[in-house]
Structure 1
Amino acid sequence: MTSRFTAAMGTVLAGLDLKEMDPALLSFAISHKAAELRASSDLFTDALELAAFAHRNDVRNPDKEGRGQPYIGHPFRNVLRLLRYGCADGPTLCATALHDTVEDCPTEIISLFDGPRAPALDEAGARTRALELIAGHFGDRTSSLVAAVTNPLPSGSAEDRHLVYANHVTSVIGRPRVFLVKFVDFVDNAGSVQYVQDESRRQRLSAKYRPLVPAFRSVLDAVERDLPVPADGLVQIRGHLDRIADRLG
């Protein structure tokens, strides 16, 4: 039986803007919404826990002293946004929680599953092993989604990296579930550009994300019937695209 407190908290958390919530509150909001959608599972909880462990030393938008917001807020916001769209698909939710772990901290996954005696690997090898471990615990569908949204290893100038990023995104989002994982990531990244204080960095990020708006819009038209979200979720997705397009100019 749902207690009055649980019901009240669920209602309050459902009305909060994501930017108002720290990682702890995001985790509770995720729990409430997942229960509402009957999307809760041991694997989903494991994915959230693994993401929090792997990103425990990471910060987002660090200043010159390396201080910033706890990085885990980013994947947690992505997960909650996806739940608010009405998505209850297990592999998609797990992959959303884990979407940056292979790219940013594969050795943390390896150390957890393989232990301290795991052999040293180069970055490409570490990514491969981390994906194998994700597949072993969460299944091939989740691992495949994480692999699809993992950006290529960096090379070249910042301008070249932006082009590689755009080409990578447009090459993978034709798969419906990959679209969802990458879209909520895009919303969190592109939607926060307006809050970047440094003007030159804000302009660079706007230039990075602006070309992807029509790409997401075009793919959405093609795959919307195959997305595991209800009709009102599709309305939210299109609304987020419109708002980001306005913000980026």
Structure 2
Amino acid sequence: MTSRFTAAMSRVLAGLDLKEMDPALLSFAISHRAAELRASSDLFTDALELAAFAHRNDVRNPSKDGRGQPYIGHPFRNVLRLLRYGCVDEATLCATALHDTVEDCPAEVISLFDGPDAAAFDAAGAQSRALELIAGHFGDRTSALVAAVTNPLDTSSTEDRHRAYADHVTSVVGEPRVFLVKFVDFVDNAGSVQYVEDLTRRQRLSDKYRPLVPVFRSVLDTVEADLPVSADGLIQIRGHLDRIADRLG
């Protein structure tokens, strides 16, 4: 039976903006919303735990002194955003939690599953092994989604990287579940540009994300009937896209 406290917390958390929540509160909000949607599962919990472990030393938007927000807040916001869209697809939720692990910290994934004496890999080999391990525990569908949204390894100039990023996103988001994983990532990244204090970096990020607004609009018109979200979730997706378009100009 749902307690009065649980019901009150679910109501309060449902009304909070994601930017108001730290990682701890985000994790509780995820738990409450997943329970409401009956989307809770052992694998989903494992994905959240693995993401928290893998990103435990990572920070987001670091200042000059290296301080920043705990990175895990980013994938947790993405997951909660999906749940608020009404998504209950396990592979999509797990992949969203894990979407940056293979790109940013594959060694942490490997160390968890293979142990402290795991074999050493170069960058490409580490990503490949991390995807194998994710497939082994979470299934091929989750691993394929993570692989699809992992940016290709690149060492070119900033301008070239931005072009490669846009090309990569454009090439993968035609699949409905990949669209969702990448879209909530885009919303969190592009939607936070306005809060970047460094003007040069803010402009650079705006230039990176602006070209993707029409891409997501076009693909959404094609895949919306196949997205595993609610009718209200589709309205939220279009609203988020409109707000980001206004912010980026």
TM-score, length of structure 2 as denominator length: 1.00
Q: Kindly, what percent of the aligned residue pairs are identical?
A: 86
Please give the per-residue CA displacement for 1:185-205, whole angstroms capped at 9, x wherever unaligned. 000000000001111111110
Please give the per-residue CA displacement for 1:168-217, whole angstroms capped at 9, x wherever unaligned. 00000000000000000000000000001111111110000000000000
The amino acid across from 2:103 in the alignment is E
Match of 1:35 in 2: 35
Match of 1:51 in 2: 51
Alignment length, in residue pairs?
Answer: 249
- List, as ranges, runs of 4+ consecutive aligned residues in structure 1 with deviation greater than 2 Å: none
Match of 1:239 in 2: 239
Structure 1: how far apart are the matches of 2:117 and 2:53?
19
Please give the per-residue CA displacement for 1:141-182, whole angstroms capped at 9, x wherever unaligned. 000000000001022100000000000000000000000000
Task: Measure how far apart 1:116 and its partner are.
Answer: 1.2
Match of 1:248 in 2: 248
Q: Name the SS for the 1:47 alignment partner.
A: helix
Give unpaired runs (5+ residues) of structure 2: none
Matched, 1:227 2:227: yes
Please give the per-residue CA displacement for 1:37-83, whole angstroms capped at 9, x wherever unaligned. 00000000000000000000000011112110000000000000000
Structure 2: how far apart are the matches of 1:25 and 1:83?
15
Q: Name the SS for the 2:117 alignment partner.
A: coil
Matched, 1:86 2:113: no
Match of 2:142 in 1: 142
The amino acid across from 1:223 in the alignment is V
Give unpaired runs (5+ residues) of structure 1: none
Please give the per-residue CA displacement for 1:120-158, whole angstroms capped at 9, x wherever unaligned. 100100000000000000000000000000001022100
Task: Measure how far apart 1:230 and its partner are.
Answer: 1.2
TM-score, length of structure 1 as denominator length: 1.00
Task: Measure how far apart 1:117 and its partner are.
Answer: 1.2
Match of 1:193 in 2: 193
The amino acid across from 1:148 in the alignment is A
Match of 2:3 in 1: 3
Structure 2: how far apart are the matches of 1:115 and 1:232?
44
Q: Name the SS for the 1:170 alignment partner.
A: helix
